[in-house]
Amino acid sequence: MQKQKIIWIFGLVVVLLLILALLGIYKFDYLSNKGGYDVDGNKIYKIDTKNELEQKIKQKKEGIKDNLGVKLISPEEFKSKADTGKYVLVDIRTPEEYQSGHIEGAINIDYYAPDFKEQVSQLDKNKKYLYYCRSGHRSREAEVLAKTFNFSEVYELDGGINAWQKVGFQVKK
């Protein structure tokens, strides 16, 4: 009788552990681009339908402004805007990355600098800006910050300087 009781308790513990493990897997799926959720950098936001997810992907590919007013643009469009002279080019890579090659005319504001936010906040908010980094991750965050400070017009180079060079545009050393 005692042995059966121990086996029954052991079985109950195993079942409870399995339930907890399954709940953990469900939570992981919930946060990892499954079950109608999309992960964008560090932000997790709910996508109600497959249609909304497809629309968001299409908007990103076509460079449509998001709810912050930031626009992702191709290297060709970025160059076209830069060539007008009406935009301030901002390279937010490290000084070492900047020295290894940058888009001509770009200023360097190091995303990893302790005073990065302060430097961005001191830029003229009425000017138009073209941001880029190496691959597009840092510049996206910098653009969000620029929109937070109410800059009038901000664009991001889709794919960063890697994409710029991939289509054959030159960098200055």
Q: Are 25 and 91 found together in one domain?
A: no
Whether this prediction's pTM lies above 0.85 is answered by no
Q: Are 86 and 132 found together in one domain?
A: yes
Catalytic residue list contains 133: yes
List 92, 133, 142, 154, catalytic entry: 133
Strand residues in the chain grouped as ranges (E): 37-40, 43-46, 71-73, 87-91, 107-108, 128-132, 153-157
pLDDT, tens digit, 9 for 90 and up, residues 31-82? 444 444 444 433 444 444 555 556 555 555 554 444 445 688 999 999 999 9
Is position 171 within any domain? no
Q: Are 68 and 129 found together in one domain?
A: yes
Q: Are 71 and 135 found together in one domain?
A: yes
* Predicted local confidence at residue 60, as pLDDT: 54
Residue ranges making up the domain that contains 142 = 63-166
Coil, strand, or helix at residue 62?
A: helix
Q: Are 27 and 98 found together in one domain?
A: no
Query: How many Å apart are CA 165 and CA 171, to the nearest integer?
Result: 8
SS (H, E, C) 50-90: HHHHHHHHHHHHHCCCCCCCCEEECHHHHHHHHHCCCEEEE
Domain count, the chain: 2
